[in-house]
């Protein structure tokens, strides 16, 4: 049966049409209204850029808005409205969404001293917002000052290849950038935000800084272009350092002054820069149109510009008018200005330059015209070293030997000022195509950025590519080759070569190129500081955070100062041709990573990668990335290496010291994919002994404040990780997850903080379980993933377990030992962990002593080697002790052990300790008696309180009496040293008889373990031979000796003889260890396993306490049942 619903209109309490009216009328929209408390209700960290912390654009949780639904048809969802907006409300916010504008507009609004919070809804379209800015930035100084020289030097074919490579590179990059721009809402902030949010903070920061450096050096190039135009064509008399040509020192002086002037303009009047941008662009377009008009005019009437050749060498014709040695004036033959230039006097018998005498002068058209056929001569390149003459190869010439006279006249020829080769020309030309991101930088000002950026950028690239390619063909088809190779136009009266082609006057090109350089330089000095400010405000590069601050209106003052400083470095180079390859490398690296981001996102099939740009394919991004990388090394292989090293250093610095950011980048997806592949590969084959390393599961105990109780356990873990490998730090909280989930998050944060303080690389995990035992069991079974699972458990020795009110600590410890053994995992137990050294400490001397009692796979040998790799233990030597019985050959055992260590490549001292068979001392019996009495007390905990008190008193009396009698009967010296005072017995007794309250789950867990404990006994491999092991077992099974049994004292007759033997071993071994290793820095001991019968669990901890008594730092080691060290390579 269908159900009828009533559609409820969505309106705010103060009028539902205000936002729509704001959008329709372009009225100021309040930022607070648009981004009202985003992320606060959901406890989401809010970033500076909108739309990153939330899946929706503006998650505005308006309480009054949702109250409208109370009692309405949507009451079923009323409990979720605080966190999930209604669809109608979401669509309303999407319709009224606006990006933040750029900092330039904020600066203009705040220039009157009033801080306006309201902003205007952007209304810029594709043509004004993207196409024209890209055109203005792409067409610039290289077109007017260097393209003719590139065509003349590389030839038409070589120039066509250079232009094609660079334009294809930028076109492919623009396609990738269009895919990024159409993959969701483009954030205000431009290309840097698109790159960083796609590549992640590490790559984003590195590429962002490379983009910043490229933009800054572009400002240097444009300023050098301004000075070159000024001193060469406009005011040549302003040259300071002598000569007729501008020197590098002139470029430095005037360039610095121009930089300071531009910086002041940017600092004071940014709005004037934006208003003049249209004027600058108009002059650029006018200059290009004048060039095309001049080409058309050459077909009708070539310009009246001639070039003078002496022999086949091109001459600078600014000092003479007539291209001849003599001329006929008033029926008289007189010498011309050239005669006085190449001869020492004006007389006919003057001494002249040999080359001047032997060769004739030829005058030809500098621009023969489009139909002249000169295109055939300009097809191929003409490269040469620095100082070579610009020559016309087809012209006859008589060569002479160089003399001091000819050397002095070389300044009158047009020569190469730099060594020319193909790769150099690529580096010089590439900056002319680097303005493709000008449109994306205005993303916050566009009406529809997803539509405007792809169309405007690609159309601008296609338009400028057509202009560049057509100019290459036109220049080669119209202009003489020697004129093309004349970089600054000295052979045509010091006019720009493109200027003599333009119509109606060369001054159109001079003024157009001057305005073009001025506009581009101001745009660079305006955009670069804001780019740096955006990087600084992201917080990914800590030392740059100071540049995120500025004036009250947000103007990046500090960033502008740094930009001016870096720009000055480029100006001090003093040559446009030397600066151009530097910024080419930085821009190429930026474009490379844009293509890389798109290719990675596509190949990984990232679910959120859904670009609407239809003409994108990952092969185009891969081709663009390859082309960028190739062009980097083509331009300059050493500059390419320097740029990559800078980017790599920035990447590692951000990774090591940078702020943690999560932007959903493609590089993280690549890491996840690589991790998945590696995990699957790890499970394909079992791990070989050569590749074994400790993968640690660290059991941490938390205090009442959920902080790590033993932080030294973290330090010791770090010191063990010289072998790298996996580290999982975990803890267990008792309770249910629903009630303690916040505590679990807090505890996990505390674990991460403790790991960060110790610089530990690993993972942290906190689980909530009904009891601690089940939680530890769960972690031992399930921690890790696939092949990256732990193979060793590290935990601290449970201190004061004998004084605890219940036995949970003891039971948890013993069950952990059993479960690690059953899971074939190694177990490391550190006693007195708070006495272990911290990571900043340095042990100057001492030793790490290994007591090798049974063979557990070589873990005892491997651990001290790993510790010695850390700087804390580096100066500690390794000593290995093993135990021999009376019938063993101690000398041969020592030799065999030394040879074994030699094959293992371990440097250690070896000592064999002989343990003599001796009678069981009275002290051993007394320790066993006290232990069993304590166990008896624990079993009597179910008695009534009165009966319990009487039982305790009687047990205490018996203990004190037996100790007093033992003092008179015992003649063993060791007992006097280890006897227990009456006060300690009394205190221990009172503490041990406290009420035991044990959880039912623990009881059931233990009962299940009891049933499963009936397996085959563990096989223990002794350091001695198998025959000796069988003899030892038989000797113990046949009895301890009739003599010992009959000589027992009456109060010892009922003792368990197995416990007596175990205590005897523990006491005797402890005496030997204390004697040999009491002053060592660390003692490693084989950890004996718990008894198969759980009735002996109460005594197991006593045996371990006796074994470690008198030692400060002890690490009990229990192997996982497999070999972890091998003698083979």
Q: Specify the pLDDT at position 9.
A: 46
| Pairwise pLDDT comparison (304 vs 72), residue with the higher score | 304
Q: Specify the pLDDT at position 396.
A: 87
State yes or no: pLDDT of 121 exceeds 60. no
3-state secondary structure of 627: helix
State yes or no: pLDDT of 99 exceeds 70. no
Q: Specify the pLDDT at position 953.
A: 55
Question: Cα separations (Å) of 773 from 156, 809, 943, 1047?
Answer: 82, 9, 27, 44
Q: Specify the pLDDT at position 1091.
A: 77
Q: Mean pLDDT, to the nearest integer, of 587-604? A: 87
Q: Specify the pLDDT at position 76.
A: 53
Q: Mean pLDDT, to the nearest integer, of 257-270? A: 88
Residue 556 class from Cβ within 10 Å (0-12 exposed, 13-18 middle, 19+ buried)? buried
Question: Cα separations (Å) of 145 from 431, 499, 513, 516, 810?
Answer: 13, 10, 8, 11, 85
State yes or no: pLDDT of 672 exceeds 60. yes
Candidates 910, 892, 808; CA nearest to 850 is 910
At 47-89, the pLDDT tens digits run: 444 444 444 444 444 444 444 444 455 555 555 555 566 666 6
Most confident of 33-42, 216-225, 585-594, 812-821: 216-225
Most confident of 2-16, 101-115, 614-628: 614-628
3-state secondary structure of 553: coil
State yes or no: pLDDT of 1019 exceeds 70. no
| Pairwise pLDDT comparison (992 vs 328), residue with the higher score | 328
Q: Specify the pLDDT at position 351.
A: 84
* Residue 1065 CB coordination number (10 Å): 17
Candidates 460, 705, 432, 462; CA nearest to 583 is 432
Candidates 120, 68, 104, 108; CA nearest to 89 is 68
Q: Specify the pLDDT at position 231.
A: 92
| Pairwise pLDDT comparison (1126 vs 943), residue with the higher score | 1126
State yes or no: pLDDT of 709 exceeds 70. yes
Distance of CA 572 to the CA centre of its chain: 33
CA distance 231 to 571: 15
| Pairwise pLDDT comparison (947 vs 28), residue with the higher score | 947
State yes or no: pLDDT of 1022 exceeds 80. no
| Pairwise pLDDT comparison (308 vs 985), residue with the higher score | 308
State yes or no: pLDDT of 829 exceeds 50. yes
**Please, which pLDDT band fits residue 976 given cuts at 50, 70 and 90?**
very low
Q: Specify the pLDDT at position 954.
A: 57
Q: Mean pLDDT, to the nearest integer, of 780-806? A: 82
Task: Tell me which of 236-240, 268-272, 519-523, 938-942 is least confident.
Answer: 938-942
Q: Specify the pLDDT at position 604.
A: 82
Task: Tell me which of 259-263, 1054-1058, 1125-1129 is least confident.
Answer: 1054-1058
CA distance 733 to 716: 23
Task: Tell me which of 175-189, 254-268, 310-324, 584-598 is least confident.
Answer: 175-189
CA distance 641 to 633: 8
**Please, which pLDDT band fits residue 162 given cuts at 50, 70 and 90?**
very high
| Pairwise pLDDT comparison (39 vs 758), residue with the higher score | 758
Candidates 930, 936, 941; CA nearest to 993 is 941
| Pairwise pLDDT comparison (772 vs 1009), residue with the higher score | 772
At 842-859, the pLDDT tens digits run: 888 889 999 888 777 678
| Pairwise pLDDT comparison (524 vs 886), residue with the higher score | 524
State yes or no: pLDDT of 941 exceeds 70. no
The pair of structure tokens assigned to 695 is 């993968």
State yes or no: pLDDT of 997 exceeds 60. no
pTM here? 0.68
The pair of structure tokens assigned to 418 is 């730099």
Whole-number average pLDDT of the chain: 77
| Pairwise pLDDT comparison (717 vs 51), residue with the higher score | 717
| Pairwise pLDDT comparison (306 vs 35), residue with the higher score | 306
Q: In this structure, are residues 579 and 588 in contact, taking their beta carbons and an 8 Å threshold?
A: no
Candidates 324, 327, 365, 366; CA nearest to 342 is 324
CA distance 657 to 106: 32
Q: Specify the pLDDT at position 959.
A: 47
Q: Where are the alpha helices (DSSP H) in 998-1082?
A: 1000-1011, 1026-1037, 1042-1046, 1057-1077
Distance of CA 556 to the CA centre of its chain: 26
State yes or no: pLDDT of 935 exceeds 90. no
Report the DSSP pairing between strands 909-914 and 1114-1118.
Answer: unpaired
**Please, which pLDDT band fits residue 404 given cuts at 50, 70 and 90?**
low
State yes or no: pLDDT of 885 exceeds 90. no
Torsion angle, CA of 273/276/281/283, rounded to 10 degrees?
Answer: -130
* Residue 1049 CB coordination number (10 Å): 16
Residue 880 β-bridge partners: 850, 910
State yes or no: pLDDT of 334 exceeds 90. no
Q: Specify the pLDDT at position 664.
A: 62
Residue 1075 class from Cβ within 10 Å (0-12 exposed, 13-18 middle, 19+ buried)? exposed
CA distance 344 to 363: 24
CA distance 241 to 218: 26
Question: Cα separations (Å) of 1033 from 721, 855, 935, 977, 1040?
Answer: 39, 17, 27, 31, 11
- Return all residues near 48 (Cβ < 8 A) that are at least 6 apart: 537, 538
State yes or no: pLDDT of 768 exceeds 60. yes
> Backbone dihedral region of 662: left (phi > 0), alpha (psi from -120 to 50 degrees) or beta?
beta
**Please, which pLDDT band fits residue 927 given cuts at 50, 70 and 90?**
low
Taking each helix axis from N to C end, the angle separating 270-300 and 248-268, rounded to the nearest 10 degrees, works out to: 130
Q: Mean pLDDT, to the nearest integer, of 1024-1042? A: 48
Q: In this structure, are residues 854 and 1084 in contact, taking their beta carbons and an 8 Å threshold?
A: no
Distance of CA 1104 to the CA centre of its chain: 47
CA distance 269 to 605: 47
CA distance 234 to 228: 9
At 369-398, the pLDDT tens digits run: 888 889 999 999 999 999 889 999 888 888
3-state secondary structure of 136: helix
State yes or no: pLDDT of 1047 exceeds 70. no
Strand order across the beta sheet in which 909-914 lies: 763-769, 727-734, 696-699, 792-796, 826-831, 1114-1118, 1082-1086, 847-852, 877-884, 909-914
The pair of structure tokens assigned to 685 is 């084959």
Q: Of all residues in the chain, what percent are helix, strand and coil, respectively (each to 5)?
A: 55, 10, 35
Residue with the two structure tokens 């993303």: 443
């Amino acid at each position: 049966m269908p159900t009828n619903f009533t559609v409820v209109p969505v309106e705010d309490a103060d009028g539902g049409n205000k936002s729509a009216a704001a959008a329709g009328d372009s009225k100021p929209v309040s930022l607070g209204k648009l981004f009202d408390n985003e992320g606060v209700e959901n406890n989401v960290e809010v970033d500076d850029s909108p739309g990153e912390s939330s899946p929706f654009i503006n998650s505005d949780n308006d309480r009054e808005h949702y109250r409208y639904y109370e009692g309405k048809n949507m009451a079923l969802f009323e409990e979720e409205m605080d966190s999930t907006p209604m669809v109608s409300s979401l669509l309303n916010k999407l319709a009224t969404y606006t990006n933040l504008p750029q900092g330039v507009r904020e600066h203009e609004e705040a220039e009157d001293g009033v801080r306006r919070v309201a902003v205007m809804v952007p209304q810029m379209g594709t043509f004004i917002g993207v196409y024209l800015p890209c055109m203005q930035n792409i067409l610039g100084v290289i077109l007017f000052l260097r393209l003719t020289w590139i065509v003349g030097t590389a030839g038409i074919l070589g120039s066509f290849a250079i232009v094609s490579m660079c334009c294809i590179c930028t076109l492919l990059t623009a396609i990738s950038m269009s895919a990024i721009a159409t993959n969701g809402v483009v954030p205000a902030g431009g290309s840097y935000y698109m790159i960083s949010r796609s590549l992640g903070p590490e790559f984003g920061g590195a590429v962002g800084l490379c983009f910043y450096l490229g933009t800054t050096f572009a400002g240097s190039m444009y300023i050098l272009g301004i000075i070159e135009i000024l001193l060469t064509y406009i005011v040549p008399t302003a040259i300071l350092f002598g000569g007729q040509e501008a020197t590098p020192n002139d470029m430095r002086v005037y360039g610095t002054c121009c930089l300071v002037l531009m910086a002041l303009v940017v600092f004071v009047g940014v709005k004037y820069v934006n208003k003049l941008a249209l004027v600058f662009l108009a002059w650029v377009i006018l200059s290009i149109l004048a060039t095309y008009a001049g080409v058309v005019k050459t077909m009708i009437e070539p310009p009246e510009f001639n070039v003078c050749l002496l022999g086949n060498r091109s001459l600078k014709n600014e000092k003479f008018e007539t291209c001849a040695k003599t001329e006929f004036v008033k029926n008289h033959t007189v010498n011309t200005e050239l005669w006085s230039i190449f001869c020492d006097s004006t007389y006919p018998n003057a001494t002249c330059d040999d080359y001047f005498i032997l060769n004739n002068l030829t005058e030809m058209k500098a621009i023969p015209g489009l139909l002249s056929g000169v295109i055939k001569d300009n097809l191929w390149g003409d490269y040469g070293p620095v100082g070579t003459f610009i020559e016309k190869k087809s012209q006859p010439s008589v060569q002479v030997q160089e003399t001091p006279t000819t050397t002095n006249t070389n300044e009158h020829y047009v020569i190469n000022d730099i060594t020319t080769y193909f790769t150099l020309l690529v580096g010089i030309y590439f900056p002319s195509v680097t303005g493709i991101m000008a449109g994306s930088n205005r993303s916050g000002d566009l009406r529809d950025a997803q539509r405007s950026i792809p169309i405007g950028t690609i159309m601008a690239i296609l338009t400028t590519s057509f202009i560049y390619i057509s100019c290459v063909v036109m220049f080669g088809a119209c202009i003489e080759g020697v004129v093309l190779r004349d970089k600054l136009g000295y052979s045509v009266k010091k006019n720009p070569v493109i200027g003599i082609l333009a119509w109606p006057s060369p001054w159109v090109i001079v003024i157009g190129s001057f305005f073009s350089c001025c506009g581009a330089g101001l745009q660079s000095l305006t955009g670069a500081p804001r780019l740096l400010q955006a990087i600084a405000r992201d917080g990914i590069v800590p030392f740059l955070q100071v540049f995120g601050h500025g004036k009250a209106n947000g103007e990046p003052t500090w960033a502008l100062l740094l930009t001016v400083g870096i720009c000055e470095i480029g100006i001090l180079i003093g040559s446009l041709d030397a600066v151009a390859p530097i910024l080419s490398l930085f821009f190429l690296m930026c474009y490379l990573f844009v293509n890389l981001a798109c290719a990675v996102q596509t190949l990984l099939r990232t679910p959120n990668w859904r670009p609407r740009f239809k003409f994108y394919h990952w092969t185009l991004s891969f081709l663009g990335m390859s082309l960028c990388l190739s062009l980097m090394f083509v331009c300059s292989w050493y500059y390419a290496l320097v740029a990559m090293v800078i980017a790599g250093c920035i990447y590692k610095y951000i990774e090591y010291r940078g702020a943690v950011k999560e932007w959903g980048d493609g590089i993280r997806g690549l890491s996840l994919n690589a991790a998945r592949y590696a995990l699957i590969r790890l499970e394909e084959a079992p791990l070989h002994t050569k590749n074994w390393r400790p993968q640690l599961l660290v059991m941490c105990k938390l205090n009442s404040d959920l902080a790590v109780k033993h932080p030294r356990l973290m330090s010791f873990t770090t010191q063990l990780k010289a072998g790298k490998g996996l580290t999982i730090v975990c803890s267990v909280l008792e309770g249910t997850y629903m009630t303690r989930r916040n505590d679990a998050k807090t505890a996990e944060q505390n674990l991460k903080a403790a790991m960060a303080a110790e610089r530990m690389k690993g993972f942290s995990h906190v689980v909530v379980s009904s009891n601690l035992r089940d939680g530890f069991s769960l972690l031992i079974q399930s921690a890790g993933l696939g092949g990256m699972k732990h193979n060793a458990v590290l935990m601290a020795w449970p201190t004061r377990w004998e004084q605890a009110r219940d036995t949970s600590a003891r039971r948890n410890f013993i069950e952990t030992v059993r479960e690690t053994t059953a899971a074939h995992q190694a177990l490391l137990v550190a006693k007195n962990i708070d006495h272990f050294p911290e990571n900043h400490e340095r042990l100057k001397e001492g030793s790490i002593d290994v007591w090798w009692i049974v063979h557990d796979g070589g873990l005892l040998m491997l651990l001290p080697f790993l510790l010695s790799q850390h700087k804390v233990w580096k100066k500690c030597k390794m000593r290995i002790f093993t135990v021999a019985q009376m019938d063993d050959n101690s000398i041969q055992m020592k030799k065999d052990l030394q040879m074994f260590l030699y094959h293992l490549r371990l440097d250690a001292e070896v000592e064999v300790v002989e343990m003599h068979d001796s009678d069981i001392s009275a002290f051993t019996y007394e320790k066993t008696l006290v232990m069993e009495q304590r166990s008896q007390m624990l079993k009597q905990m179910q008695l009534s309180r009165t009966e319990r008190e009487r039982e305790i008193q009687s047990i205490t009396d018996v203990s004190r009496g037996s100790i007093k009698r033992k003092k008179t009967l015992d003649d063993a010296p060791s007992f006097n040293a280890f006897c227990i005072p009456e006060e300690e017995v009394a205190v221990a007794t009172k503490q041990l008889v406290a009420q035991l309250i044990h959880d039912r789950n623990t009881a059931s867990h233990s009962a299940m373990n009891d049933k499963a404990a009936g397996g085959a006994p563990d096989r223990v491999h002794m350091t001695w031979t198998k025959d000796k092991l069988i003899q030892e077992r038989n000797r113990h099974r046949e009895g301890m000796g009739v003599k010992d049994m009959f000589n027992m004292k009456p109060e010892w007759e009922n003792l368990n003889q197995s416990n007596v033997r175990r205590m005897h071993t523990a006491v005797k071994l402890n005496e030997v260890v204390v004697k040999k290793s009491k002053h060592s820095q660390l003692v490693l001991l084989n950890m004996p396993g718990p008894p198969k019968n759980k009735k002996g669990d109460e005594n197991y901890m006593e045996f371990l306490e006796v074994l470690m008594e008198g030692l400060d730092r002890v690490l009990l080691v229990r192997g996982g049942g497999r070999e972890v060290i091998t003698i083979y390579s």
